[in-house]
């Protein structure tokens, strides 16, 4: 069976409690993103000792908040006893007055940083005008954001468009989160699979004999925690407590071309992959593998979905992580969420008309998705992220971050794996000892920098896209001190 188918100014804050540098050459006091950066010749020793002491009893304010949460919240998060109170730019403060450089950005969400004045103004204006109306009626902002997503994808490259294209035949569905976006994409792909099976067999799409219903995902993927998205998140600790999950899911390995022929068959309706895995360890897919994946999907009539929830929307320096790749590496559907409204809940599915045509009134829907408030904020955020000067800033700072990170495996070979993972401003450091990522995050937090773990063996850096070179310098200096402290 064969199928066919304007940059915002960056805050220049520095924690007062962080002492003066020693043990390495340092950067100038302030660096614009286009300034020349001096690269150190040896690890920074300024942060061998912690900046903050977490052993002291918390204040009444902090203690009461923690107690309230322990009493009333579902205990599903393993969190340190830190209560954040406010933020600005790439910085946050807790209720004890401690100040942190945030290289987690709400898990790659706050692209424009914390408490951005422009975002706050749009939130206030739109909430005072029309906050929610449901999808029973039209509103002004939903089609505007859809148009911006489509035109930018065509001009920047992605979804089968080479860079500089004119948009044609693309549709958008708005949801409230990345998980919902992935659920919608899987649902659409399942329906397309049934349509394609029916076209080949001459039977009806809803015939129970339809065999084109299987889904392919990959090891270390993270696509969400609802039952459908969880079923394609092939990590044992996430799946085990909730089995049985949805049937017919086959699992492959990223960058393994040999497995694709066996893995993706005429019974496959959908293949979902992350061009850069976030939660799973910051593993980037090879161009050759993505091309082979696209080719195999073409051969079998499977719908190819790229989950760009964490790596998309300019985090890699291009609109999509696959934007700069040839179109024979592109997907049929893109899912997005995290940075689109800078923290206000939103998700979206972007798909070609050849896929979207299967969906008619009543086949899918949402109460809150595509609200005027979410889409007004999303339009504002995406307009700023896509400004040429902003994109140039992201690329320039990314280059400096990469240069600094590539020194670390050479300086700490007994602790770190050889290669720095990811690209742009989604980066990972692999640790040789799987107990070390959590320890590095703890050591960095004690020194005033917030990091994340990723997968079993990595530390993840996903700062706001407004981050400056000075802030990168500080974060990497603290990381060097944390690694040295762990080594000693």
Buried-state track 344-380, b at ≥16 Cβ within 10 A, e below 16: bbbbbbbbbeebbebbeeeebebebbbbbbbbbbbbb
The per-residue pLDDT for range 317-363, each reduced to its tens digit, is 999 999 999 999 999 999 999 999 999 999 999 999 999 999 999 99
Q: Percent of the chain having pLDDT more than 70?
A: 93
pLDDT for the residue 455: 96
Look at residue 35 and tell me whether its pLDDT is greater than 90. no
Look at residue 22 and tell me whether its pLDDT is greater than 60. no
Residues in contact with 403: Cβ distance below 8 Å, sequence separation at least 6, in sequence order = 37, 39
In the chain, what are the domains?
60-115+390-487 (3.90.1150.10), 124-386 (3.40.640.10)
Higher pLDDT, 12 or 131: 131
CA atoms within 13 A on the CB side of 280: 26
Q: Judge contact between 420 and 408, C-beta under 8 A.
A: yes
Higher pLDDT, 71 or 29: 71
The per-residue pLDDT for range 139-194, each reduced to its tens digit, is 999 999 999 999 999 999 999 999 999 988 899 999 999 999 999 999 999 999 99
CA 445 to chain centre: 21
Task: Give me the sheet containing 426-431, strands edge to edge.
Answer: 416-423, 426-431, 458-461, 452-454
Look at residue 6 and tell me whether its pLDDT is greater than 50. no
Backbone phi, psi, residue 85, to 5°: -110, -40
Nearest Cα residue to 306 out of 417, 389, 369, 221: 221
Count Cβ atoms within 10 A of the Cβ of residue 445 and give its class: 0-12 exposed, 13-18 middle, 19 or more buried. Answer: buried
Task: Give dist(CA 271, CA 331) in Å, integer.
Answer: 10
pLDDT for the residue 476: 98
Contacts 24+ apart (CB under 8 A), 167-172: 169/352, 169/353, 169/354, 170/350, 170/351, 170/352, 170/353, 170/356, 171/146, 171/350, 171/351, 171/352, 171/353, 171/356, 172/145, 172/146, 172/348, 172/349, 172/350, 172/351
Lookup result for tokens 């020349």: 36
pLDDT for the residue 38: 83
pLDDT for the residue 30: 37
Q: Taking each helix axis from N to C terminus, what angle separates 372-385 and 117-127, rounded to the nearest 10 degrees?
A: 160
pLDDT for the residue 488: 87
Nearest Cα residue to 411 out of 471, 487, 475, 474: 487
Mean pLDDT of the chain: 93
pLDDT for the residue 167: 85
Count Cβ atoms within 10 A of the Cβ of residue 404 and give its class: 0-12 exposed, 13-18 middle, 19 or more buried. Answer: buried
| Token pair listed for 82 | 């830190």
The reply to whether the predicted model has a pTM over 0.85 is: yes
List the single range of 24-33, 49-58, 109-118, 253-262 with lowest mean pLDDT: 24-33
Higher pLDDT, 214 or 8: 214
The per-residue pLDDT for range 316-326, each reduced to its tens digit, is 999 999 999 99
Higher pLDDT, 297 or 22: 297
Q: Judge contact between 66 and 58, C-beta under 8 A.
A: yes
The per-residue pLDDT for range 380-436, each reduced to its tens digit, is 999 999 999 999 999 999 999 999 999 999 999 999 999 999 999 999 999 999 999
| Token pair listed for 92 | 């946050």
Look at residue 17 and tell me whether its pLDDT is greater than 70. no
């Amino acid at each position: 069976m064969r199928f066919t188918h304007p940059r915002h100014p960056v805050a220049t804050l520095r924690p007062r409690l962080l002492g003066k540098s020693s043990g390495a050459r340092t950067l100038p006091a302030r660096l614009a993103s286009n300034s020349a950066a001096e690269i150190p010749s040896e690890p920074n020793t300024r942060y061998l000792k912690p900046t903050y002491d977490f052993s002291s009893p918390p204040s009444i304010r902090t203690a009461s908040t923690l107690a309230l949460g322990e009493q009333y919240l579902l205990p599903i998060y393993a969190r340190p006893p830190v209560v954040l109170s406010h933020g600005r730019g790439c910085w946050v403060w807790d209720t004890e007055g401690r100040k942190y450089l945030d290289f987690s950005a709400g898990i790659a969400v706050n692209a424009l940083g914390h408490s951005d004045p422009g975002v706050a103004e749009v939130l206030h204006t739109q909430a005072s005008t029309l906050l929610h109306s449901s999808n029973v009626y039209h509103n002004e902002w939903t089609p505007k954001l859809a148009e911006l997503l489509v035109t930018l994808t065509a001009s920047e490259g992605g979804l089968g468009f080479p860079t500089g294209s004119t948009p044609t035949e693309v549709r958008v569905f708005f949801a409230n989160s990345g998980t919902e976006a992935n659920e919608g994409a899987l649902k659409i792909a399942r329906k397309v699979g049934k349509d394609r099976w029916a076209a080949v067999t001459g039977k009806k799409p809803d015939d129970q004999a339809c065999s084109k219903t299987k889904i392919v995902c990959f090891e270390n993927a993270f696509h969400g925690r609802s039952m459908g998205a969880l079923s394609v998140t092939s990590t044992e600790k996430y799946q085990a407590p909730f089995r049985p999950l949805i049937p017919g899911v086959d699992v492959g390995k990223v960058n393994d071309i040999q497995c694709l022929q066996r893995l993706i068959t005429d019974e496959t309706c959908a293949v979902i992959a992350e061009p850069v895995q976030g939660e799973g360890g910051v593993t980037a897919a090879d161009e050759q593998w993505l091309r082979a994946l696209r080719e195999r999907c073409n051969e079998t009539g499977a719908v190819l979905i790229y989950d760009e929830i964490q790596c998309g929307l300019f985090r890699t320096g291009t609109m999509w992580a696959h934007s700069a790749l040839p179109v024979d590496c592109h997907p049929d559907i893109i899912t997005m969420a995290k940075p689109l409204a800078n923290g206000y809940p939103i998700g979206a599915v972007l798909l070609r008309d050849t896929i979207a045509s299967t969906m008619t009134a009543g086949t899918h829907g949402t109460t809150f998705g595509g609200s005027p408030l979410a889409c007004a904020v999303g339009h504002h955020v995406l307009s700023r992220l896509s400004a040429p000067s902003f994109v140039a800033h992201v690329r320039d700072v990314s280059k400096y971050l990469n240069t600094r990170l590539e020194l670390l495996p050479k300086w700490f070979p007994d602790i770190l794996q050889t290669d720095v993972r990811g690209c742009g401003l989604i980066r990972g450091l692999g640790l040789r000892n799987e107990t070390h990522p959590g320890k590095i995050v703890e050591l960095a937090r004690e020194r005033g920098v917030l990091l994340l773990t990723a997968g079993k063996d990595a530390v993840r850096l996903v700062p706001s896209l407004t981050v400056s070179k000075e802030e990168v310098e500080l974060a990497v200096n603290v990381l060097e001190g944390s690694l040295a402290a762990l080594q000693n």
